């Protein structure tokens, strides 16, 4: 992979994408915007997983795949691994990144966070605005994870939780 691109470019591209989808294309339909962003993430993840799983043996079970996401995949994307992985052994995994770089430069008043934000973006309270904006930025990584896993043959639903920034945890629910 000779070609590389500066991180700042990627960051600004991400923010630009999010803003253009939320404020321009689907200004008054946040769900729609979210879905579109997530879809973009899905495609990216789909393709990246294809690339990053080259030269490695196939995964025998879900856990391996998740581990791959936590270790190699994540470090390919963010030059760091997922810091903490939890699972209930019934198809739900929680991937926690203590310092998620795409939120690193985002200043959100942590007090005003209501839990699983990327799930309910309907809350319109003004102090929640920042949280919403953040959550909008999280649909993309969610999509990436989902895309990667589904390309590895693991259909799942991914949601993000930023109850304690800058730590961010992604909840992966594998569809039985």
> Measured from the CB of residue 51, what is the shortest distance to another protein in angstroms?
5
100: which 2 tokens? 């998620």
Applying the rule CB under 8 A, the residues between 46 and 105 that interact with another protein are: 46-47, 49-51, 53-60
| Identified binder of another protein from the candidate list 12, 20, 43, 107, rule CB under 8 A | 43
CA torsion 14-33-48-89 (nearest 10°) is: 120
DSSP class of residue 59 equals P
# binding residues, another protein (CB under 8 A):
17
Residue 151 and residue 139: Cα distance in Å, rounded? 18
> Measured from the CB of residue 10, what is the shortest distance to another protein in angstroms?
16
Chain position carrying tokens 């590895």 = 152
* Residue count (the chain): 176
Preceding omega of 115 cis (within 30 degrees of 0): no
Does 4 help bind another protein (rule: CB under 8 A)?
no
Which CB, 55 or 126, lies closer to another protein?
A: 55
Does 24 help bind another protein (rule: CB under 8 A)?
no
> Measured from the CB of residue 39, what is the shortest distance to another protein in angstroms?
12
| Cβ atoms of 141 and 149 closer than 8 Å | no
Residues near another protein (CB under 8 A) are 43, 46-47, 49-51, 53-60, 151-153
């Amino acid at each position: 992979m000779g070609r590389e691109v500066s991180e700042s470019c990627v960051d600004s591209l991400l923010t630009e994408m999010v803003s253009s989808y939320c404020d321009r294309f689907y200004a008054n339909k946040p769900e729609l915007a979210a879905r579109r962003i997530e879809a973009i993430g899905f495609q990216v993840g789909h393709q990246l997983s294809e690339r990053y799983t080259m030269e490695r043996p196939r995964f025998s079970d879900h856990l391996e795949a998740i581990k791959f996401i936590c270790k190699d995949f994540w470090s390919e994307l963010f030059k760091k691994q997922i810091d903490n992985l939890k699972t209930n052994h019934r198809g739900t995994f929680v991937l926690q990144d203590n310092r998620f770089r795409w939120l690193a430069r985002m200043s959100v008043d942590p007090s005003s966070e209501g839990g699983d934000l990327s799930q309910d973006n309907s809350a319109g309270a003004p102090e929640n605005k920042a949280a919403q904006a953040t959550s909008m930025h999280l649909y993309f990584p969610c999509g990436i994870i989902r895309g990667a896993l589904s390309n590895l043959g693991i259909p799942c639903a991914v949601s993000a939780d930023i109850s304690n920034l800058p730590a961010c945890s992604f909840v992966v629910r594998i569809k039985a």
